[in-house]
Amino acid sequence: MRKGRQEGRQFMEIFIEDVTTAHQLREVSAVRREVFEKEWRLKTRQLQFDTQNKVWHLLARAADFGPAIGALSVVDTTADDTLHQNYALHFPENARVARLTQLAVLVSFRGRGIPYQLIREAIHQIVQPHRFDFTWLLFDASRAESCHLVEEFDYSVSPYVLQTEYGLCRVLSRDERRWSSRDKSMQAVDEPITVLSY
């Protein structure tokens, strides 16, 4: 379990943990049902445990052993050319690629930097140790160019606006090879997460 850092702007103190038990996975599902199904009226595919080390889940808590308030998954999409083509993505041959997906934070805890702490920890705990070359995610098309993932995490914005099951989105992607020995992505930034990532 890693305690959310509070560098830069003042963030709510949270605890982020790897999801390794069925109970934790149920907590992840409960947060996503609250956000995606009840609030946004969307049906999302439930991500399960993966025995082949292709899917990882992070869970945010309001305090040590407190209630679950947010979740983020990382999916290995390496060599999934069909998926990448669906989103107009092109990566070098043999590149290792990870998708950040189904980020959800309960409405009463938004605006406190939690999404960015989750993304930062995903990069620190999963992307870098597993030597992924690129990461990508979907972002609300109307806000993509001005979001902090672009300004602070150096994500690039695709020029294409795509109609997805989540509405109009653009793809954000980042070359992780340029960041393997740098610390900027570990900075904390704050922004409400309305339609942040799927």
* 118 lies in some domain: yes
pLDDT tens, position by position, 151-169 = 889 999 999 999 987 889 9
**pLDDT attached to residue 188:** 39
- Say if residue 21 is exposed, middle or buried (CB neighbours under 10 Å; 0-12, 13-18, 19+): exposed
**pLDDT attached to residue 148:** 87
* 89 lies in some domain: yes
Q: Which residue reads 């995903």 in tokens? A: 122
Q: What is the CATH number of the domain that holds 64?
A: 3.40.630.30
What DSSP letter does each residue of the chain carry, written as one string? -EEPP--SS-----EEEE--SHHHHHHHHHHHIIIIIIIS----PPP---TTS-EEEEEEESSTT--EEEEEEEEE-TT-HHHHHHTT----TT--EEEEEEEEE-GGGTTSSHHHHHHHHHIIIIITTTT-SEEEEEEETTTGGGSHHHHTT-PEEPS--EEETTEEEEEEEEEGGGTTT--GGGS------TT---
For residue 136, the enclosing domain spans 2-186
- Token pair recorded at residue 48: 């399960």
pLDDT tens, position by position, 84-114 = 999 999 999 999 999 999 999 999 999 888 9
What is the β-pairing status of strands 97-105 and 134-140? parallel
Dihedral angle sign, alpha carbons of residues 140, 141, 142, 147: positive
The confidence band for 52, taking pLDDT boundaries of 50, 70 and 90, is confident
**pLDDT attached to residue 180:** 64
Q: How many domains does the chain have?
A: 1
- Other residues' Cβ atoms within 10 Å of the Cβ of residue 167: 15
* 193 lies in some domain: no
Please list, in sequence order, all residues whose beta carbon lies within 8 angstroms of the beta carbon of residue 166, skipping any fewer than 6 positions away.
42, 138, 195, 198
Q: Report the mean per-residue pLDDT for the chain.
A: 86
* 192 lies in some domain: no
* 108 lies in some domain: yes
**pLDDT attached to residue 193:** 33
* 194 lies in some domain: no
* 121 lies in some domain: yes
Please list, in sequence order, all residues whose beta carbon lies within 8 angstroms of the beta carbon of residue 52, skipping any fewer than 6 positions away.
none
* 132 lies in some domain: yes
Indicate if the pLDDT at residue 172 is higher than 60: yes
The answer to whether 176 and 121 have CB atoms below 8 angstroms apart is: no
**pLDDT attached to residue 11:** 60
